[in-house]
Amino acid sequence: MRLILLGPPGSGKGTQAQRLVHRHGIVQLSTGEMLRAAVAAGTPIGLQAKEIMANGGLVPDEVVVGIIADRIDEPDAKKGFILDGFPRTVPQAAALDELLKKKHLKLDAVVELRVNESALLARVEKRAEETRARGEEVRLDDTPEVLTKRLAQYRSMTEPLIHYYSERRKLLTVDGMMTIEHVTREINRILTALGALEPKEHEEPKATSRAAKKASKAAKKASKAAKKTNKKTTKKPAKKAAESAKKAARPAGKAAKAASKAKGAGKGARKAAKKPAKKAAKKAAGAANARKGAKVAKKAAKKLTKKRAKR
């Protein structure tokens, strides 16, 4: 993966470059650092740059491109790199294209972090005020005045690169005013969509994969244990509720039995009451018949007495 990050000062290029380096194992190539390293190593290009810088001159494009050519041949840059601070002009971009072409390499994308310049100035002003409030000295390169000059320089020299890479269909624009996390996610999303990320870069390291598997197994065991616990805890209240219901039902059952006995007793009482009543009725009926018989006998006796008296 070979990238260029574009954006004005304060847009977060350095932060996003470090995140890409850490996640994908590529290297960040800063022209300033590469020049200093080449000078310290005493390479032919480094010695040439050292002489120019000692005389207070600007290092020519061909020298910078030569340093980049040496750097991307080193083993740690084989997997990919991010160019930070280069190219700054259209001629530098054209020289870089020629270099990559000679080395049979391809630039995957140019990511532009677009920001609101007014918001950047407001941030710097606030930061400067907070620094002064703490009694600290404000850095000379961290003031609204310096940022204003750097922004004007960016617009005049570097902004034409946006049109240059847009024509070559390499430019991808990301809203740099989002949070750092959102910007990182968006950059990774568009790089994945482009196919700039190799499949291996999406695979987790073995150690991480094993740890993930162990964590997954532990999670499954914990889930099963939780289900068993839930079943037990739900059964216990159910048993208690059933026992309580049985206890509550016992008095009702006793009351029902008592009612049943009372009902039976009532039937017995009615039966018992009916028997004497029947006997009494029979006796009364017998007595009534006896009285009728006595009256008849009386009448018969009178008649018999009268007949005898006539004789």
From the list 19, 36, 79, 88, the catalytic residue is 88
- 250 has catalytic annotation: no
Q: How large is the C-alpha radius of gyration of the chain? A: 55
- Given a contact cutoff of 8 angstroms between Cβ atoms, the answer to whether 131 and 138 are in contact is yes
Q: Say how far apart CA 86 and CA 71 lie, in whole Å.
A: 13
Q: What whole-number distance in Å separates Cα of residue 219 and Cα of residue 222?
A: 5
List 13, 50, 71, 170, catalytic entry: 13
- Helix, coil or strand: residue 109: strand
- Neighbouring CB atoms inside 10 A of 296's CB total 10
Q: State the Cα–Cα distance between residues 60 and 288, nearest whole angstrom.
A: 156
Q: Is 88 a catalytic residue?
A: yes
Dihedral angle sign, alpha carbons of residues 140, 145, 151, 152 = negative
Residues 6 or more apart whose Cβ sits within 8 Å of residue 42: none
The answer to whether residue 127 is catalytic is yes
Q: Of these residues, 19, 36, 123, 127, which one is catalytic?
A: 127
Sign, CA dihedral 258-264-268-271, equals positive
Residue 13 a catalytic site member: yes
DSSP conformation class of 75? G
150 catalytic residue (yes or no): yes
Question: Please, where are the H alpha helices in the chain?
Answer: 13-24, 31-41, 44-54, 61-71, 90-102, 117-133, 144-153, 160-167, 180-194, 199-202, 206-310
Catalytic residue among 78, 126, 139, 210: 139
Q: Which of 19, 79, 114, 150 is catalytic?
A: 150
Q: Which residues are catalytic?
A: 13, 88, 127, 139, 150
